Amino acid sequence: MGGGAREHALAWKLSRAAGIDELYAAPGNPGMAGIATCVPIAADATVELAEFAASLHIDLTLVGPELPLVLGIADEFARRGLLLVGPSRAAAEVEGSKVFTKEFCLRNGIPTARAKVVRNRDEAAAAVKELKVPVVFKADGLAAGKGVQVCRRKGEVEQALARYFEERTFGAAGEKVLVEECLEGEEISFMVLTDGVSVLPLASARDYKRLEDGDGGPNTGGMGSVSPAPTEPGLAARILRTIVHPTIAGLAAEGRPYRGVLYAGVMATKAGPQLLEYNCRFGDPETQAVIPRLDCDLLPLLRAAAAGELGALRAAWKREVAVCVVLAADGYPASPRRGDAITGLGEALAQPGVLLFHAGTALQDGRLVTAGGRVVSVVGRGVTLEEAAQTAYSGVARVQFDGMHYRRDVGKGLS
Ligand code: AMP
Ligand code: GLY
């Protein structure tokens, strides 16, 4: 379910597995059309999707984006006895409400930044005074990855106060806001597959959220990723022990057993790993770098997680590095332009070690054109980080469309 590069990467992996007779993508994209039957149902039409899956006796459904999960698509499928990889509406609250997650972390001793829940400008100003600049503002509800603002100077705080409480940019999602302490350290994206009891860690990744090289410019949906994340040894084990396991156990104990992919956005601080946020699904663009490194079939792992049979199953990983560079449309992220003709994808794909995953593309009169902010993910694989980055950029160099822009520093200067 879904039509981004994350879903294309997952469909690509699944399409190569034994035991798949038919693969459907709703709504899919032109890149997925070669490997799956694309069905024009939007990802948030949860009842329609469940009816479609029931009518075709679909054996297993994998949900890409958060919205259908937060809307309760897992419950809709469960009512019909259909197997789906993804948490129930109650468990998806870990992404659906940042206030819920913050309070959950406090109750369960999960390390995270100190924070205050505020509802208006005065409460927010008082919270800023107490926590002291730098601070972070976070809209409680879903905001398409744009609900967080890090304020490093007083002027930015004023701007945020106006944005969150006067302009009410986030509508209902911003009725409650978290004001939290700013953490310093390296960020890491850590995803696991869980059936509510057992946990299967996936390979770590680094996300490049900012628009410009050197982490300048505004936050975006993600401009690139690297897997594995260059981290100190032992960090993954520590994240599992202090963050992931207590979360899975705590959610179960609170009557919200979690099944599916749990994505922890973690800051590795001097005092140890701290949770920045949870997502209730695979990360985008992390998945485009993680999934090509998987050295076993994905299907049995997904099926086991959905069926509550994960047990001691483990994933195998290739000893290679993957670098993903996102090619963005003119005007992204503010107002991406559509309709620019895309050329060179075939040549890019012909480069050894390159994979391409579509996102904002469409077919118009037989031509491939841009149709969204993040247009394609170009993935390069290699034995070393340098080789993987070089491979990814050799693919990037073949692709062209008017207004195309991308970061030139993904995977560079890390090791
Ligand atoms: P989120 O949408 O929660 O992932 O937040 C977006 C980005 O804001 C994160 O990836 C971090 O880079 C940054 N961020 C969020 N919370 C904090 C924090 N407490 N301290 C520092 N940076 C943060
Ligand atoms: N890469 C961040 C996310 O998927 O939300």
- Which ligand minimizes its atom distance to the CA of 324? 2
Q: Where are the alpha helices (DSSP H) in 219-362?
A: 235-239, 245-253, 286-290, 299-307, 345-350
* Residue whose CB lies within 8 A of the most ligand 2 atoms, among 148, 277, 284, for a mutation test: 284
Residue 344 DSSP symbol: -
The Cβ of residue 362 has, within 10 Å, a number of other Cβ atoms equal to: 16
What are the Cα distances from residue 92, in Å, to 71, 168, 370?
9, 24, 31
What are 47-68's pLDDT values in tens digits? Answer: 999 999 999 999 999 999 999 9
What do you get for the CA distance between the two ends of the chain, in Å?
A: 35
Residues lining ligand 1, Cβ inside 6 A: 113, 136, 145, 148, 150, 180, 182-183, 187, 209, 219, 265, 276-277
Per-residue pLDDT for 143 more than 90? Answer: no
224 lines ligand 2 (CB under 6 A): no
Give CA–CA dist 246/50, Å, rounded: 32
Q: Are both 5-84 and 114-181 of the same fold?
A: no
Which pLDDT belongs to residue 77? 97
Pocket test for ligand 2, best of 142, 190, 211, 279 (most atoms within 8 A of CB): 279
- Distance from C-alpha of 4 to C-alpha of 25, rounded to nearest angstrom: 11
DSSP 3-state percent helix, strand, coil across the chain (nearest 5): 35, 30, 40
Q: Whose CA is nearest to atom 5 of ligand 2?
A: 283
The superfamily in CATH containing domain 114-181 is: ATP-grasp fold, A domain (3.30.1490.20)
Distance of CA 33 to the CA centre of its chain: 22
User: Does position 415 have pLDDT exceeding 70, yes or no?
Assistant: no
Q: Report the candidate in 233, 284, 249 with the shortest Cα–Cα distance to residue 263.
A: 284
- State the pLDDT confidence band at 206, using cuts at 50, 70 and 90: very high
> Distance (Å, rounded) from C-alpha 236 to C-alpha 117?
30
| Spacing, Cα 258 to ligand 1 middle (Å) | 23
Residue ranges in 92-194 assigned as alpha helix (H): 93-96, 98-108, 121-131, 154-165
Neighbours of 101 (CB within 10 A): 22
Each domain of the chain, given as residue ranges in start order, spans 5-84, 114-181, 184-307, 321-396
- Nearest 10 degrees: CA dihedral of 164, 220, 286, 280? 20
Report how far residue 327's alpha carbon sits from residue 285's, in angstroms, rounded to the nearest whole number.
11
Establish whether residue 222 lines the binding site of ligand 2, counting it when its CB lies within 6 angstroms of any ligand atom: yes
How far, in Å, CA of 349 to CA of 355, rounded? Answer: 6
The fold of 321-396 is: Glycinamide Ribonucleotide Synthetase; Chain A, domain 4 (3.90.600)
Sorted by sequence, the CB contacts under 8 Å of residue 217 that are 6+ apart come out as: 210, 211
How far apart (Å, rounded) are the C-alpha atoms in residues 255 and 329? 43
Q: In angstroms, rounded to a whole number, what is the distance separating the alpha carbons of residues 250 and 305?
A: 18
pLDDT of residue 213: 96
- Distances in whole angstroms, Cα of residue 81 to Cα of each of 1, 61, 192: 18, 12, 24
150-205 pLDDT, tens digit per residue, is 999 989 999 989 889 888 888 889 889 999 999 999 999 999 999 999 999 999 99
pLDDT at 63 (0 to 100):
97
Q: What is the CATH number assigned to the segment(s) 184-307?
A: 3.30.470.20
Q: Return the CATH number of 5-84, one of 3.40.50.620, 3.40.50.20, 2.102.10.10, 3.40.50.1820.
A: 3.40.50.20
Three-state DSSP class for residue 118: strand
pLDDT at 135 over 60: yes
C-alpha to C-alpha distance for 142 and 347, rounded to whole angstroms = 38
Share of the chain above pLDDT 70, in %: 100
pLDDT of 11-30, one tens digit each?
Answer: 999 999 888 889 999 999 99
Pocket test for ligand 2, best of 286, 324, 326 (most atoms within 8 A of CB): 286
Q: Which residues contact 392 (CB under 8 A, 6 or more apart)?
A: 323, 324, 325, 354, 378, 379, 380, 410, 411
Give the tokens for residue 245.
């396991």
The 8 Å CB, 24+ separation contacts for 144-153 are 144/221, 145/219, 145/220, 145/221, 145/222, 146/219, 146/333, 147/98, 147/173, 147/174, 148/219, 150/182, 151/182, 152/182
- Residue 218: what pLDDT? 86
Burial of 93 (0-12, 13-18, 19+ CB in 10 A): buried
Tens-place pLDDT, residues 333-378 = 999 999 999 999 999 999 999 999 999 999 999 999 999 999 999 9
Is the model's pLDDT at 40 over the cut of 60? yes
